[in-house]
Amino acid sequence: MRHDRPPLRRQRGAALLLLLVVLGLGASSFLISMFSQPKGDWRRQALTRAALGDAREALIGYAIVHRRLPRPAISALDGRESTQPCAGEAGCTGWLPWTTLGLTPGDGWNKLLRYSVSPEFANGNLDTAVEATKTVLDRLNDGTVFYRVGSANCRYDDRCAAAVILASGRRLGTSINGIEQADASTDNQDEQANQDAVREFMARADTDDVRAIGGSFGNVVGWVPLQLIRTRIRATAPNPNLPR
């Protein structure tokens, strides 16, 4: 006896195949939309966060080898660390010394990363230096400022950061060619404050909303926790109990 209707198993197989094709096309469209815009802010942000991560690891590696953190770069065009001790918070704030750290200069916008290091850790020995001085702020939804890292009194707060790394984002900043970007924005007060900051830095969620308290914001801020440095140093210290 013949049946004109195909077997149920064949119908299910065809339906499953169709579903896989649809899912595959959807996934392909999603990936294409993500990666087909090399100039989009999404990619620039991703590159910037990667650059900050590389910088933090390089700074920790430098600290392990030299028992101190590097000083800022000589200039916007010379990525070697300054040969002169930096005096005070302002003197220990400048450009990340990318050449000394073996890094490619710049973030996702091809702008130099700013770098601010606690004076004791740049000029002294991490084994004896006691005070990290950098703090990172944030804002609640109502605009209230709070400390994300550290507090107002770093001398008694070991949560303060040993160093801060700042990417300017799409506004402000200085290009890898040493050219300062002109910015006519007047609605990005927190960004402008970050450009002059030497101790307290603002790290907010990215927004183009000019009505937000502190204005629009596109900076990306990274930091090097003091405890992380000391943990890495202890982990790499030679064990005196092991045979030589």
Phi, then psi, of 16 in degrees rounded to 5 = -65, -40
Measure the CA–CA gap between 145 and 143, rounded to whole angstroms: 6
Instruction: Using the predicted structure, report yes or no on whether residue 6 has a pLDDT greater than 70.
Output: no
Average of per-residue pLDDT across 201-225: 95
Query: Is 74 within 8 Å of 12 (Cβ atoms)?
Result: no
Measure the CA–CA gap between 92 and 88, rounded to whole angstroms: 6
Query: Is 101 within 8 Å of 115 (Cβ atoms)?
Result: no
E-strand ranges in 87-172 read 93-95, 114-117, 135-139, 145-149, 161-167
Phi, then psi, of 166 in degrees rounded to 5 = -125, 125
- pTM recorded for the entire structure: 0.80
Domain boundaries, the chain: 41-236
Q: How confident is the model at residue 198 (pLDDT cuts 50, 70, 90)?
A: very high
10 against 234, higher pLDDT: 234
